Structure 1
């Protein structure tokens, strides 16, 4: 066995350990959030008979807001979902203290998400996993460290949703933007290990196990086009709202930034008192979709959820938008289905299909990761019956959002970050792997014809199962993975330059 294969096997062994540890941490995170939400729901229900308990809730929420806000004040990158931070880390633009992130994200996430705010656990779970990967990779090369960060991120999402394939695809498609064999192989290893662990803790039942037995006939696909257009429009509005909501918070200069979380917590009290069944990320709301079949009530719930999701996220408290997006998609699918049933244009038994399809459609439109949407919902629901119509709806929503000028939400959030004070890596030499896409301007060009960024050396080309040592006349082909040796201080700059060169 050659030296490189031994190195790869060692890295895979570390990835396995990263997956196990990420499974333990995220499993505990899931459990703690569930217990916290149950606790607050119990108090809210009791408050209908004992109104004085509203004072207890108010005091508790003030403590939660101040504690979680202070944790984010100490470590700003522990706020929000954490996915933009992971994306910047993998680009070499951001270096974080993994331990500082890990414990603050865990505690702050349990407090904020467990309170019932419209926040999801998946983004924080991805960052928790990434922090664990970074910790295990602290004594390895920077290239291997990034592979382990990606592995941890995939493991975190896998543990959060019981979706190892969706977790791996999300990291490749949306976060890492690189389908390198080293990345996907180690990410899948960690994701499978994490899923195995949480399956033993929470059982093997899919997170969103919604039973249905009727296939969606091809002659009804016109509904998918109409619904896809609606989802694409809603996705664009949500992107706009999420990116501009923070501007409203910024105008509240009389309230310290770390106390902005008190605003959604105060607003949550009347919402939870009146409609306790709709609070939280939305997992239970999706599973009980059939219990609410009034069009007017569903419309009100959707409006409340989309507005309050933006308010919750832009406050800066730890929490993600993954599950809230799926919840809004499920509500829109049921709304459309019920309207069509009332009009006599759709069998009532197919409403559940649209609930499932729309989760993938809205996710695809907002996050702009259609393959992840398809795999994720397939794993979370636990059925392949919906694969074709689900893919059609995801594609239509994606295209509509694209035509409206939408961009991947996590990439947009990363771009929005203040980067002036980001701490970049400081070692001398680093590696950057780039994929030559089919439409890339670098495809079919010889290495010597390309004006590479300063301090950049083309070190290796992965082509299929072969590794090619490049020469000046070596032609780059679509699908090649090109390994560049760069000055680590300029890595992020080279990353952006290569990205621009391919367009």
Structure 2
């Protein structure tokens, strides 16, 4: 069968799933290599800072080296602006059609600059970069082998799932993150392709790092049901912290942008990190070693110092725009908050010391939910990263409370806010206005503007047409008198020339009113 005929063939979905296997292989390989390089870079960076502490004259080598690294990173950021920052907002923007990037230059710049940032000890995570590297592999495969723009976007999403899967050995979390945070809707085809890529990518990752979980917490007991009121308090604290984190990060970006020179922004981040490495080296880097060292023996004052130091260095590392994510550092912050809460609760209420690890894990999920606003991803991520399914109920409770509290503070999901800032300043990002049409899918949600309305009654975007309706296992050919019901699965054709605005109008029309009016 010719490739050009596959899009009209009943086997087109099988072909797309086959391509998602290739995406999983390439994304898993690249993300695993990146993860391996980051581990080596962080280890060497810590060693270099330690040598300077013992022999201060070595600073004459360290300082020029950091300045040179800053030059390389600045060049990458200016030459390939889509490589800056986390990577997750960039992928979301690409999938929404807001801007377009070259997959090779973006992946190359992200890999090199992110590795150099970790070599310098910056508090950045691997997950955002891994998501973007995976999406780039999906873009590569889709650009070569997919026959429609819709399928190219699906393969990019599959690559994003594969990237997160390889970063944390967490295939289910990779799939859920794409559905819950990146796409924000569910479709059977999207689920199948993302799951295929994530599973294949996880298999590749296991060849590099084995089957072990990312964290090695020892869970010796479960929190008693009568003590769940403590989890509600913990959720409230995490929700408030999440709102504070988001506000501080966005304000820090505005402050840093007042420095016109990208190079001096990068130098400022490296200078702050180098100073912190001299006075408090525990908080630099990704934070993986910090989590593994957390123990009930740490005093409350020391834990508070760790929280403040990690919070500061994470902020100063990210707001400069250096390639790297906030995903893992925010989990570390959550772990420290959990340790503080556990210390207070265990000592103050004479609770079992074995609950310490439980509070740490629960706080990580709650912090992720409060900041990212993706509770299912947070729950699955902590389950997969710790290798235990024994505390799903407390994870869900803490995440729910943290979500509600953060929402009461009117704190927007951080990746949505970061994407909005990027869209407000498109001049700093690679854009390409596309011509032609694109097929997208959406669901008529309960209490949306379109529910129980005839198509002729809807105020549709001028370049948008409903071409098919899937309802209760049957396909309906729409016309002006067709009434839309909640749960209808719509296929729409839109123009690519103003795709991001059209998508926003479509979301406003078919999403629940409370969601679109926020």
Q: Deviations over 1:36-60 (max 9, x none)?
A: 1111111222233212223322222
SS at match of 1:434: strand
Q: 1:94 aligns with which of 95, 99, 109?
A: 99
Q: 2:483 aligns with which of 458, 475, 480?
A: 475
Match of 1:263 in 2: 268
- Matches of 1:403 and 1:34, distance apart in 2: 38
Which range moved further: 46-55 or 10-19?
Answer: 46-55
- Matches of 1:271 and 1:150, distance apart in 2: 37
Match of 2:277 in 1: 272
Please report the RMSD computed on the Cα atoms of aligned residues, expressed in angstroms: 1.7
Q: 2:247 aligns with which of 231, 240, 243?
A: 240
2:89 is aligned with 1:73: no
SS at match of 1:270: helix
Residue 292 (structure 1) shift:
5.6
- Matches of 2:324 and 2:42, distance apart in 1: 14
Residue 247 (structure 1) shift:
1.8
- Matches of 2:263 and 2:156, distance apart in 1: 28
Which range moved further: 395-404 or 343-352?
Answer: 343-352
Which range moved further: 279-288 or 362-371?
Answer: 279-288
SS at match of 2:486: coil
Partners of 2:89 and 2:415 within 8 A in 1? yes
Q: 2:123 aligns with which of 115, 118, 121?
A: 118
Match of 1:500 in 2: 508
Match of 2:516 in 1: none
- Matches of 2:296 and 2:70, distance apart in 1: 32
2:42 is aligned with 1:37: yes
Partners of 1:362 and 1:397 within 8 A in 2? yes
Query: Counterparts in 2 of 1:371-386, with a 5 A limit?
Result: 371-386=376-391
Report the count of equivalent residues: 501
SS at match of 1:260: helix
- Matches of 1:395 and 1:199, distance apart in 2: 32
Partners of 2:284 and 2:313 within 8 A in 1? no
Match of 1:369 in 2: 374
Query: Counterparts in 2 of 1:368-407, with a 5 A limit?
Result: 368-407=373-412
2:224 is aligned with 1:217: yes
Residue 275 (structure 1) shift:
2.7
Residue 238 (structure 1) shift:
0.6
Counterparts in 2 of 1:183 and 1:464: CA distance versus 1, 3 Å: farther
Q: Deviations over 1:126-168 (max 9, x none)?
A: 0011111111111431101100110010000000011111011
Partners of 2:338 and 2:363 within 8 A in 1? yes
SS at match of 2:435: coil
Partners of 1:337 and 1:346 within 8 A in 2? no
Residue 480 (structure 1) shift:
2.5
Residue 8 (structure 1) shift:
0.6
- Matches of 1:465 and 1:382, distance apart in 2: 37
- Matches of 1:213 and 1:348, distance apart in 2: 9
Counterparts in 2 of 1:191 and 1:399: CA distance versus 1, 3 Å: same
SS at match of 2:163: helix
Counterparts in 2 of 1:213 and 1:438: CA distance versus 1, 3 Å: farther
**Long gaps (5+) in structure 1:** none
Partners of 1:435 and 1:481 within 8 A in 2? yes
Residue 4 (structure 1) shift:
4.1
Partners of 1:113 and 1:121 within 8 A in 2? no
Match of 1:107 in 2: 112
Match of 1:194 in 2: 201
Q: 1:439 aligns with which of 428, 432, 447?
A: 447
Query: Counterparts in 2 of 1:45-444, with a 5 A limit?
Result: 45-139=50-144, 140-253=147-260, 256-290=261-295, 293-417=298-422, 418-421=424-427, 423-444=431-452
Residue 192 (structure 1) shift:
0.5
Partners of 1:427 and 1:489 within 8 A in 2? yes
- Matches of 1:32 and 1:223, distance apart in 2: 40
Q: Deviations over 1:173-226 (max 9, x none)?
A: 111112111111101100110000001110000111312121111111111111
Partners of 1:61 and 1:115 within 8 A in 2? yes
2:456 is aligned with 1:451: no
Which range moved further: 225-234 or 60-69?
Answer: 60-69
Question: What TM-score results when the alignment is normalised by the length of structure 1?
Answer: 0.96
- Matches of 1:220 and 1:55, distance apart in 2: 55
- Matches of 2:382 and 2:49, distance apart in 1: 31
Residue 482 (structure 1) shift:
1.1
- Matches of 2:268 and 2:297, distance apart in 1: 28
Q: Deviations over 1:252-289 (max 9, x none)?
A: 34xx1233111111111121123323321111211221
- Matches of 1:228 and 1:207, distance apart in 2: 24
- Matches of 2:341 and 2:446, distance apart in 1: 38
Counterparts in 2 of 1:49 and 1:420: CA distance versus 1, 3 Å: closer
- Matches of 1:105 and 1:356, distance apart in 2: 30
Q: Deviations over 1:53-72 (max 9, x none)?
A: 23322222112111111101
SS at match of 1:252: coil
